Structure 1
């Protein structure tokens, strides 16, 4: 069959369009990575250690912006105001899942955002004051039979250690009084002194106090025993595999961001988190690198949103809006 010159010309004109359609998405300017907390928090290393690899994958710089305030609401609102073109990412923590129920201003964020990748997680450790002189079995007995006489601390209402502790109490059928703090500094002072009985806390914060005998470690929420505390059993080993208590970080974008942009950002993050130097440095800071793609991360978020909603409603937990 002989093609006429007109058909050949049309085919030639179509080739550049087809090539453009098949080319992977690339950002046209620096990409913003918004962090909803102040500089120096545990979220920062995850963002900054990945920056160089993200730049290599995307061909543009990734600019980290800390926009703190209103329990992550300001940072999320800024992301939603930005164009849905792949040039703005939001890093989130467990608070994203809690805020769906806790805060009216963020009730629709599960629909407004789409996950890109779940980057890391830090397990929580159940620690008790040495003056309590108890082991796992003893703690459960007192929680179940003490009529709510025990007290546990958290770094604030609606934080992942708070909701994790309430989930723990729900699973074991125990009662305890919540003592919320503004952060962890005074919490640890009171825990060392025995003014509160126990707490769930981020692994990096308790390794040294445990080694110094200031705290007693009873269980850890990791999938397997952690290298920092090899003698401490996991909650799964102790019969509580479904406990949701940890501190994870992940990346979101506006849900109306085009699929090619989302896919390119996901690939860039997975590449960064697979880089040996990035993984080693994060692991040295007690992070577990998850590198879960967006579809898997969305299921994780759904599980946390549902569990947190039950805990919040059953316990009448409220925060200032």
Structure 2
């Protein structure tokens, strides 16, 4: 019994030391934050606005690197080549979940990377040309009737608006033909003119065209109505609460990064995203700040991977490898 009590005492003394070691990790050099898209895309503001807060929390400069190409494959490969020491992070979007099924080179990324935080989300808005002259009920009826062919545009095969639209068709029980574009510029020209019937697009991209009467908004994929479009119902209000269509950004690291480093990086992100100045500036850009910790973010990724895999396989969606 004496030995047991002594062992318990020693264990009790050791616990604070272990906890302190886990919480005391600090980077010893600048930390890289790799973005898989070119500078100036919608991912950039999230990274740039977080830099100062991350520096304050970590005590080291955070260097944002844009490494675009091969549908995020190059940036992910660069992250996986970097040492798993907490000094390299990768920002991801919905494409991460889609690529698990779409691309052979990224099929194991769900196991290779560990989520740190889901930072932000931008809802999608279902818009049609005013010439279509339908509300949601009329639109859904037209999808299901199968009479006049319906078309929709997206900024590319396998993008979140493309997969979101296919998920919408699956849930609504309708049909429409996909017209892929290289980005959104020509897509909006054709949508304004009624050459395509509808699109799901990032909220900031359509607020002004809706205000100018160039587009009609039918629904938004947010948890609640957005202040930019207070009269537009959510899909949940319309009976489709499970629709997955939005643009989120999150942070991952190599899964073999030590737990103390992962925990410190997660805390730094959560603290940064909680700063009023950061939240206000992101919200002004129509981002919803989520600040979901790694365990919750992993559940989100699992849901998107599973849903996207079903949509991709059911529709025979393929991309150039």
Inter-partner Cα distance in structure 1 for 2:269 and 2:19: 25
Match of 2:268 in 1: 268
Give the equivalent residue in structure 2 for 1:232: 232
Match runs of 1:288-307 below 5 Å: 288-307=288-307
Q: TM-score with structure 2 length normalisation?
A: 0.94
Please give the alpha-carbon distance, in whole angstroms, between the structure 1 residues aligned to 2:44 and 2:290.
17
- Which residue of 2 is the match for residue 277 of structure 1? 277
Ranges of 4+ aligned residues in structure 1 off by more than 4 Å: 17-20
Matching residue of 1:136: 136
Instruction: Give the Å deviation of 1:146.
Output: 2.0
Q: Deviations over 1:177-217 (max 9, x none)?
A: 00000000000000000000000000000000000000000
Q: Could you give the per-residue CA deviations for residues 16-54 of structure 1, whole angstroms, max 9, x where no partner exists?
A: x87973651000000000000000000000001010010
Please state if 1:252 is matched with 2:255. no
Query: Closer, same or farther in 2 for the Cα pair 1:30/1:192, shift >3 Å?
Result: same
Quick check: 1:117–1:250 contact (8 Å CA) kept in 2?
Answer: yes
Distance 2:81 2:148 in 1: 45
Gaps in structure 1 of 5+ consecutive residues: 1-13
Q: Does 1:105 align with 2:108?
A: no
Equivalent residues, number:
306
Distance in 1 between residues matched to 2:18 and 2:298, nearest whole Å = 32
Does the Cα contact within 8 Å between 2:23 and 2:260 map onto a contact in 1?
A: no
User: What does 1:22-101 correspond to in 2, within 5 Å?
Assistant: 24-101=24-101
Deviations 1:91-139 (A, max 9, x none): 0000000000000000000000000000000000000011111110111
CA contact (8 A) 1:273 1:279 kept: yes
CA RMSD of aligned residues (A): 1.3
- Residue 286 of structure 2 aligns to a residue whose secondary structure is coil
Counterpart of 1:33 in 2: which secondary structure?
A: strand
Q: TM-score, normalised by structure 1?
A: 0.94
